Amino acid sequence: MNEIFEFDCCIVGSGAGAGPVAYELSKAGYKVAILEKGKWYKESDFRKDEQLYRHSIFRSKFKDERHVLEEPDGDDGFNAKDWSSDTTAQFWGGNIVGGASNFMSAYFHRLKPEDFRLVSTFGQIEGANTVDWPITYDEMEPYYTKAENVIGISGKIVHHPFLEPRSTKDYPLPPTAEHPISSWFDKTCKDMGLNPLPMARGILSRPHNGRESCQYSGYCGSYGCASGAKASSRASLLDQAVATGNCKIITEAKAYQINSDSKGNASSVDYFDLSKEAFQTPSQSIKVKAKIIVVACYSIESARLLLSSRGERHPDGLGNRYQQIGKNLHCCAGGTGHGIFEFDQFTSEQAEQLKVRGPFFNRALQDWYFIDDKKSFGQRVKGGTIDFVFDPPSPASDANSQKWQDGNLLWGTQLKQKVKSYFTKSKDFKFEVFCDWLTNDDCHVSLDSSEKDKWGSPVAKVKAGFHPHDLKVGSYIVEKGKEVMKNLGAQSVRGSAFSSPTSNLVAGGLRFGKDPKTSALDADCRVHGTDNCFVTDGSFMPNGGSVTPTFTIYANSFRVADIIKKQMS
């Protein structure tokens, strides 16, 4: 080893699961080290450039390390796909300080009490590994509230039949500016007997804790925020943690092994310094010793790290005595849909409203969060959420997509006319459906037996089998979304459910629970078989709920931070 550093706590990763722990511990006076594989980019680096967002400078180098993916082949088997030339389906969320939280759309829904007790509420589904959580919604609720206030969430509570219990009457910040057609949506849904919900956002509607408010540029989801308004881990938590003088972020640090002592407890983390161009071996790596080790490097990579961390008491990987590391991975089930609104089908005033750019179309429906349609499902089942959104601006790719018509490549005047019509004659609205991806035996992370990364470590092998129930629920809710779009006035509506894994919104793989034979972590998110190794990214989640998981990851990380502080004191 070239160097050895010592801290009170070492966190691997810097995203939504890492930020609250670093923030809380550093403010409490503890010395914290964060190992981040990527670089440290700030607001000035996030240009509104369609070719820049989440591209190679913000992602892992796939030529150095990638994931091996196995998906169903449609014939009761699985195919290992070769992504060596196609990197679009890789699971990396963000190779950057703040991780994938830099690029989120920041739709911040809470889980509901029933999400914590799916089996008790709905019963077990054959072929699924669903379990109740080892904690309740009431135990998580104070940390949802804390996250809202610390990172800054904008919104307005509307009382409706599906509202989860809250200890506060409203969000700490007022809603972000709304697009004119939000009022169309509200009226349409109410006429349909539905409950339109203003969507809370992890985006500042006014300055907060030294961060600027939203600029309404439209470059939000998939883009880094140029104003600091988005509640990324970096902007909302890590900048403040570093300002205490107690938090050191070590960038370009690829952690590859957690070492453990004779009692089985984590003792240190080994990493390579990626700023050095020369190839490195373990004898040239750097060691960070710490009393507490926190793993928060995205579900797949967190499982990979623990599986790679063998020791005297952990011969199959840290905490893997019962082969639970990597099990019960889940992606995000659901679907998407679009409605095309032709300007000439509306009044001139309505057409002008449709053309407005900048403000958010912040609306969601949770009327089918629980589905009581016995004709379709035989019993009451867990459903999902529909978020109605605008895609971020992508004029170059949108224009490029117009070059084909009926299988023929367009040229010259014909292409120009089609491109002009696309940008000036209509508006495309999108909806996204989120529902649970049921955990099952065919969705998990392991170490690939043949492929290694640039530094000699086995890459993660992801088997991504889905449960057919997910597709049925997703298809059901997509049809509801299409119906809303038609009633809203769209001239053309399309939508479909999906079964392929999403490249983001991946969680699970290190499920928490009470029994080490069926879970990787205890109820405090401590790795079974250790006293001092915690996991705080989305890996801990037994199920994803029917919403994006980031808000729950933030809340749980604040909860675990309190547990760590109590243990350290």
DSSP one-letter string for 48-87: S-TTTTTSGGGS--TTT---EEEEE-SSSSEEEE--SS--
* Residue of 396, 395, 374, 370 lying closest to 385 (CA atoms): 370
pLDDT tens-digit map of 285-325: 999 999 999 999 999 999 999 999 999 999 999 999 999 99
Count the residues in the chain.
569
**Same structural domain, 3 and 54:** yes
Q: What is the CATH number of the domain that holds 245?
A: 3.50.50.60
Strands 266-273 and 253-260: antiparallel
**Same structural domain, 478 and 526:** no
Residue 77 lies in a domain: no
CA distances from 70 to 21, 86, 452, 464, 538 (A): 34, 15, 17, 6, 21
Paired strand residues for 153: none
pLDDT for residue 222: 82
The band of 49, judged by pLDDT with boundaries at 50, 70 and 90, is confident
d(CA 430, CA 478): 11
| Residue with token string 């080893």 | 1
Residue 456 lies in a domain: no
Residue 119 lies in a domain: yes
Residue 385 lies in a domain: yes
pLDDT for residue 1: 55
Between 391 and 536, the more confident residue is 536
**Same structural domain, 276 and 187:** no
The band of 279, judged by pLDDT with boundaries at 50, 70 and 90, is confident
Average pLDDT over residues 162-178: 95
Using DSSP's 3-state secondary structure scheme, residue 492 falls into: strand
**Same structural domain, 268 and 371:** no
**Same structural domain, 290 and 425:** no
Question: Which ranges constitute the DSSP H helices of 79-153?
Answer: 118-122, 137-147
| Residues in contact with 159: Cβ distance below 8 Å, sequence separation at least 6, in sequence order | none
pLDDT tens-digit map of 354-370: 999 889 988 999 999 99
The band of 269, judged by pLDDT with boundaries at 50, 70 and 90, is very high
CB atoms closer than 10 angstroms to residue 165? 10
The band of 197, judged by pLDDT with boundaries at 50, 70 and 90, is very high
Query: Domain boundary residue among 479, 500, 521?
Result: 500
The whole domain housing 14 covers 1-61+90-145+231-326+507-569
Output DSSP code: residue 134.
S
Residue 424 lies in a domain: yes
**Same structural domain, 389 and 526:** no
The band of 86, judged by pLDDT with boundaries at 50, 70 and 90, is very low
Residue 474 lies in a domain: yes
Q: Is the pLDDT of residue 337 over 90?
A: yes
**Same structural domain, 285 and 235:** yes
pLDDT tens-digit map of 88-133: 456 777 889 999 999 999 999 999 999 999 999 999 999 999 999 9
Residue 256's φ and ψ, nearest 5 degrees, are -125, -10
pLDDT for residue 84: 47
Query: Domain boundary residue among 458, 478, 500?
Result: 500
What is the DSSP track for 515-534? -TTT-SB-TTSBBTT-SSEE
**Same structural domain, 264 and 353:** no
Query: Taking CA 536 as the corner, what is the angle to CA 240 and CA 514, rounded to the nearest 5 degrees?
Result: 145
Q: Is the pLDDT of residue 530 over 60?
A: yes
pLDDT for residue 205: 96
Q: Is the pLDDT of residue 396 over 90?
A: no
Residue 476 lies in a domain: yes
pLDDT for residue 80: 67
**Same structural domain, 312 and 392:** no
Output DSSP code: residue 177.
P
Q: Is the pLDDT of residue 244 over 70?
A: yes
pLDDT tens-digit map of 421-474: 888 898 888 999 999 999 999 999 999 999 999 999 999 999 999 999 999 999
CB atoms closer than 10 angstroms to residue 312? 10
Query: Domain boundary residue among 453, 480, 500?
Result: 500
Average pLDDT over residues 7-28: 98
pLDDT for residue 189: 97
pLDDT for residue 56: 61
**Same structural domain, 478 and 515:** no
Tokens at residue 265, please?
A: 């407890």
pLDDT tens-digit map of 484-526: 999 999 999 999 998 888 878 899 999 999 999 999 999 999 9
pLDDT for residue 313: 96
The band of 60, judged by pLDDT with boundaries at 50, 70 and 90, is confident
Q: Is the pLDDT of residue 85 over 70?
A: no
If one counts the domains in the chain, the total is: 2
The band of 218, judged by pLDDT with boundaries at 50, 70 and 90, is confident
The band of 55, judged by pLDDT with boundaries at 50, 70 and 90, is low
**Same structural domain, 248 and 345:** no
Residue 79 lies in a domain: no
pLDDT for residue 499: 85
Residue 452 near residue 458, CB atoms below 8 Å: yes
pLDDT for residue 196: 96
**Same structural domain, 193 and 319:** no
Using DSSP's 3-state secondary structure scheme, residue 267 falls into: strand
